[in-house]
Structure 1
Amino acid sequence: MSEAASNATSHIAPNPALIPRAQLFGNPEKALPSISPDGRHLAWLAPVDGVLNIWVAPAGAPGQAAPVTRDTKRGIHSYSWTFAGPHLLYPRDADGNERYHIHCVNVTTGVERDLTPFEGIFAAVYARSHLVRDRVLIAMNRRDPKYFDLYALFIESGELQLIEQNTNMASFIVDERFNVRVATRLDADGTLQLFERDGHHDVDVDVDKASAAPWKPWFSFAPEDARVSHPLFLNRDGTALFLSDSRARDTAALVRLDLATGERRVLAEDARCDLGGVIVDKDTREPIGYGSYYTQHAWHALTPGFQTDLDRFAQHGLSEWHMVSRTEDDSVWVIIGKSALAPGKAYLYRRDTGALELLFDTRPDLAHAPLVPMQPVTIRARDGLELVSYLTRPAQAEGAGPLVLLVHGGPWGRDGFGFHPEHQWLANRGYSVLSVNFRASTGFGKRFVTAGDLEWGRRMDDDLLDAVEWAVREGIADPGRVAIVGTSYGGYAVLAGMTRNPQRYACGIDVVGPSNLETLLATVPSWWESMRAQLVNAMGNPATEAGLALLRERSPVHQANRIARPLLIAQGANDPRVRQDESDQMVAAMKHNGIPVTYLLYPDEGHGFARPVNRFSYYAVAEAFLARYLGGRAEPMTAAERQASSMQVVEAGDMHELA
């Protein structure tokens, strides 16, 4: 234990019961419920021999559920019903390489099939429709690894028919008959161009050949708008396109564009945040409600019927919820209700009667755990930007104590309010936890997200420093006991923060974080080609002398000699986004400079840790690391946890017990 940590242990909050890692980071008892379109079946994810699989039950008898898949390794984490009888589709990759295949299981017979059995591809379900029930539309990069073509995938036969051959488009919008109506493309300067099909809006889909109709330029979103603006979907008869649109405003509004007249009507807007999470009418596919998310998520009604739904949920105390499934006739919804103190409860909502029936609690083992509340706070950056942040403090915490700055990934993502297992884990171990929506985070308008352009490791790092200083001023953080922890971009922030500000943090933990922006851009997955312009504009252009110099200046690997405090790095060997070489480079640079580092490598993981046994070993090492250098508590790693995990200790640093 460091001297600072040793001297501070008496100031840590009184100890509540230690919440086992397995309860926070293990598989949920049940998760991701859904109802079949015909309302006859319920499905959810639940473990089979410790691995998440799909279970199915008659809608009227959930207690008769049985598993219909038998994954034995990484587990199944998402799935969807089809309109083609009793079939479920789900993606699977190999050891985290993100080369997903589309698998199908017949819930009646139990027969499983790989419907895209091709080497090296990435495939995903793109659309489904009740008008073409025997097939789904999928996107797959089999022809060209950089671009996704659209195919009709016939569920029973597995036949694939090319619908749209893609040469340079980023995305498509299709109608209810799978006609490809709108295309988008990102230009080199970041402009998002929209194209419409030339004279072919009302032609039925022809599954025998790809569409030959040319694309005609339509309108565009300027680079700054393109960061938050994009087309969403068409209404059922294909006469209107709905947009997330920030033109003539800072935040993205929900806009309806009439395709015949060109009339553009703003349906909803919020000056504080971009809108999202639209719920549509089952018959017209016109929006009935939308979500806004500044400090906390809120639903808003566009129709009296949806307002009735919201009122009913409020009467049951459900303010934080989201829809995960609905029947084809819209009579039954499946929703998840959440709060900062509960990981989630699944409900069946019957719209005709207003009845709300509890299906299950996602993690019942936490029902009596000593969870603590999360507090939204707004921190002002040095240049005036408002940083929406979230603070969780240990139970009965008083005065300044150890703080963990937990940095989100992306950076085009955001932290939010609600149940956060890492916040609860760290607070339970004795630390205050602060998550900050630094500039470049999404959801707060175009000016906020573009304020992060070319500011990796500079103003984005300044925002984190300003948040720490706020916590010190507020008497929350002891300035000598602050750790920085992050995954993906958050891992980069750890490395950047510890090289740029070597005395600021007592220690840091980087999970799958890039260390060299030059090699990161050179090795991003081929299927990210359509978004390369935005990556370059945000980080620096390696094709120019100035851009290359900037990338090298902001790459922590070239400043590794400045690291002065303990660092833990964890990496998945099969990560296609931030490759193992990013961590290897940083570790090699630190060793070259005689600086100890702890390095964990997981040979069967990718961008994060999907297997529970691997999560347990990582969090066990991480909390022992934090306890050593901040003075908090730790649940010891068991021999069984260590043996079950694939964790390889490449470098033990100062944690000699790992060697």
Structure 2
Amino acid sequence: MLRNLRVLSLFILIAALYSCQDNKVQEIPIVEFFKTPDKTNFKISPDGKYISYLKNYQLKQNLFIQSLVDGKERVATSFSDFAVRGDYSWTFDNQIVFSLDGTPHGVYLMFALDVNTLQKRPLLSEEKVNVRMVGRNKLTPDIITISMNKRDSANFDVYRLNVTNGELKPYLVNPGNITEWVMDADGRIRLAKASDGVDETILFRTNDNAPFKPIIKNNFRNSVKPIAFTGVKNYFYALSNVGRDKTAFVEINAENGKEERVIFSSNTSDIQRVDYSKSKRRLELAAWEEAKPKKQFLNADIKNIYDNLAKQLGESEINITDRDTAEKKFIVTTYTDRSRGAVYLYERSTDKLIKLTDNSDINPDELCAMQPINYKASDGLIINGYLTLPLGDNKTNLPVVVMPHDGPFGMRNSWGYNSEVQFLANRGYAVLQVNYRGSSGYGKAFYSAGFKEIGGKIQQDITDGVNWLIANKIANPKKIAIYGRGFGGFSALYGVSFHPHLYNCAVVQNGLISFFTYIQTAPAYYKPFLQKMYATIGDPEKDAAQLTAISPAFHPEKPVVPLFISQDANDPRANLDNMNHYVSKLQKRNVQVKYSVNKSERGSVGNEKWRMQNNADIEKFLDNNIRVKP
């Protein structure tokens, strides 16, 4: 009976994947998949009078502001040497705080922009520092709270920055192990998270003059992520998997660390996000991922807004990404698996929805469904993932591109629009995305099952997925490529090194090729996480033999199939010297290698041109190695 059900399920899967097939599949130009949308990173001013966004100007990504009163668009910044970063933010007194990408010598530059005059003021100019936004509050609208590793590169202290006059005042000095600071609604930091890499401690203080005291202590396999104070007593909301497998949304008493109640949980998946309105001090929704994204509304008012949006936007996934302080106007984004979606302005009083930009010009009917799948790994563990099949009449014996995700831990593939997946499917390839053990969202046991298995069971999960495709006659066993970036790039090189007869070729982008280099070159502020890396990935001393055995850098003699390798010269975690040496060794063995390096800055037109060329080269590479010729 069970076997019959499995056969029926597979039949339904294939039928669903081909429900959108068309005999006349048109190849969509590469630029349509990979171009940067004309406008991105939309935000709304606290007073609801303006929207801001990033847009190319003078060949760089710059800030633009549009008045919601008269609709006029203004160029707010006009940098020609640097790009404005996407993490800019509004202050409560209607200024914009932003920083720049691509500055020389690692100088961090932060500015404040006066929206009325468009005059910008320098706030920070610091060499070789990282800055993180901690928060802002309405009580002191001209003050933002930031953390910065200025005093000590290994530790982030907290500062109060006046965006009117640039005055920077120390607020909290990091004793050496604090990895996270949490503000209350009035802008006071009352929670902190400390870690020695193995054990994690939540600390609480009643006010700015009181000392922090430990209230919760966990091994790294357990996690408590504070969200916000409830406004009742000293309780706070958090995501916690303490005492359970799946992360739940809970309320905790900060006086003693005791969990008071579970607000919402799922039996199948970790709760991954909670939307909380700081201005209203109101819970709105909890979100998680099963095969597709899910939401549980925690407030009738916000549910009504989403219901009204759904009536106008249909089956798209909908998310509110920003709002004014009065919560009368909202920035809304949409997407599906076959559409990058659009950005809208929603005016609550009139129930009016105004499209601000389309993220893509591709007709969704020309693209294909991303279908959730699962299979059993060799040791019986259920592995989930997604399979996207090309349009057309062929239902079996397809060329396949396997795409393991980056990570290995704390990341996953999700249902939704993926430019690379849709590009490959449009070119006739089936695409398999595997959420191997260690991927996030599936609970503590599944996450922990990946520890010390980066070159073991994690890779076997990927191999089992390929064999599942072959066994079900979806894949042509002689036309399979593996394609990944970061840890996914490691998996691609591992696959062609240790399973040379399974793959015909590999595409590697910013590939991780030496775990020794990956661990040893981690920035100083990663220090609190090093012990965790030793426990989950491997200790460079105690596990040296194992890390040597699996790191591609030490095995350039193994690959025999064609390789496409690209590196971003500006990626701080991609070791260019290691990759240059590795490629040189391959070339000396006459292994076919296409190697390219991107030296363009993020947010620049040059970077976009390189991205287009890179994908054109990947298309040609796959066409030469696994495309089924007519």
**Distance in 2, Cα, partners of 1:79 & 1:603:** 22
Which residue matches 1:29? 38
Which residue matches 1:498? 496
What's the CA shift for 1:136?
0.7
Map 1:64-75 onto structure 2 (within 5 A).
64-72=72-80, 75=83
Q: Does the aligned pair in 2 maintain the 1:282–1:330 contact within 8 Å?
A: no
Secondary structure of 1:118's match? Answer: strand
**Distance in 1, Cα, partners of 2:546 & 2:107:** 32
Which residue matches 2:98? 90
Amino acid paired to 2:560: A
Q: Does the aligned pair in 1 maintain the 2:185–2:278 contact within 8 Å?
A: no
Residue number among 306, 310, 315 corresponding to 1:310 in the alignment: 306
Which residue matches 2:367? 371
What's the CA shift for 1:632?
6.4
Which residue matches 2:320? 323
**Distance in 1, Cα, partners of 2:537 & 2:264:** 33
Q: Does the aligned pair in 2 maintain the 1:291–1:299 contact within 8 Å?
A: yes
Which residue matches 1:40? 49
**Distance in 1, Cα, partners of 2:528 & 2:79:** 33
Residue number among 436, 441, 445 corresponding to 1:443 in the alignment: 441
Q: Does the aligned pair in 1 maintain the 2:92–2:138 contact within 8 Å?
A: no
Change (3 A) 1:99 1:510: farther
Q: Does the aligned pair in 2 maintain the 1:374–1:417 contact within 8 Å?
A: yes
Which residue matches 2:3? none
Deviates more, 1:587-596 or 1:251-260: 587-596
Deviations 1:404-436 (A, max 9, x none): 111211222111111111111111111111111
Amino acid paired to 2:523: P
Q: Does the aligned pair in 2 maintain the 1:400–1:477 contact within 8 Å?
A: yes
Amino acid paired to 1:391: L
Q: Does the aligned pair in 1 maintain the 2:398–2:476 contact within 8 Å?
A: yes
Amino acid paired to 2:345: L
What's the CA shift for 1:37?
0.7
**Distance in 1, Cα, partners of 2:107 & 2:449:** 33
Number of residues of Structure 1 aligned to a counterpart in Structure 2:
604
**Distance in 1, Cα, partners of 2:603 & 2:442:** 26
Amino acid paired to 2:113: V
Secondary structure of 1:116's match? Answer: strand
What's the CA shift for 1:32?
2.4
Change (3 A) 1:612 1:67: same
Change (3 A) 1:283 1:44: closer
Map 1:136-535 onto structure 2 (within 5 A).
136-166=144-174, 167-188=176-197, 190-197=198-205, 201-203=206-208, 214-226=211-223, 229-236=224-231, 239-259=234-254, 262=258, 264-316=260-312, 317-363=314-360, 365-367=361-363, 370-398=366-394, 399-411=396-408, 412-535=410-533
Q: Does the aligned pair in 2 maintain the 1:513–1:582 contact within 8 Å?
A: no
CA RMSD of aligned residues (A): 2.6
Amino acid paired to 1:599: Y
Amino acid paired to 1:66: R
What's the CA shift for 1:260?
5.0
Q: Give the percent of matched residue pairs that are identical in Structure 1 and Structure 2.
A: 27
What's the CA shift for 1:49?
4.4
Deviates more, 1:111-120 or 1:482-491: 111-120
Secondary structure of 1:561's match? Answer: coil
Which residue matches 2:8? none
1:538 correspondence with 2:543: no
Secondary structure of 1:581's match? Answer: helix
Change (3 A) 1:267 1:99: farther
Residue number among 542, 546, 550 corresponding to 2:546 in the alignment: 550
What's the CA shift for 1:563?
0.7
Which residue matches 2:4? none
Which residue matches 2:14? none
Q: Does the aligned pair in 1 maintain the 2:489–2:511 contact within 8 Å?
A: yes
Deviations 1:371-416 (A, max 9, x none): 2222121222222322221111111241211111112112221111
Residue number among 605, 610, 625 corresponding to 1:614 in the alignment: 610
Q: Does the aligned pair in 1 maintain the 2:270–2:441 contact within 8 Å?
A: yes
**Distance in 1, Cα, partners of 2:452 & 2:531:** 13
Which residue matches 1:587? 583
**Distance in 1, Cα, partners of 2:103 & 2:586:** 28
Unaligned runs of at least 5 residues, structure 1: 1-11, 204-210, 634-659
Change (3 A) 1:101 1:390: farther
Change (3 A) 1:448 1:605: farther
Amino acid paired to 2:119: V
Which residue matches 1:118? 126
Secondary structure of 2:557's match? Answer: helix
Amino acid paired to 1:53: N
Change (3 A) 1:396 1:50: farther
Change (3 A) 1:19 1:99: farther
What's the CA shift for 1:99?
7.0
Q: Does the aligned pair in 1 maintain the 2:177–2:196 contact within 8 Å?
A: no
Secondary structure of 1:575's match? Answer: coil
Unaligned runs of at least 5 residues, structure 2: 1-20
**Distance in 1, Cα, partners of 2:533 & 2:604:** 21
**Distance in 1, Cα, partners of 2:371 & 2:102:** 39
Deviations 1:543-562 (A, max 9, x none): 42xx2222212211222211
Q: Does the aligned pair in 2 maintain the 1:186–1:533 contact within 8 Å?
A: no
Change (3 A) 1:397 1:252: farther
Change (3 A) 1:136 1:572: same
Amino acid paired to 1:304: A
Secondary structure of 1:481's match? Answer: strand
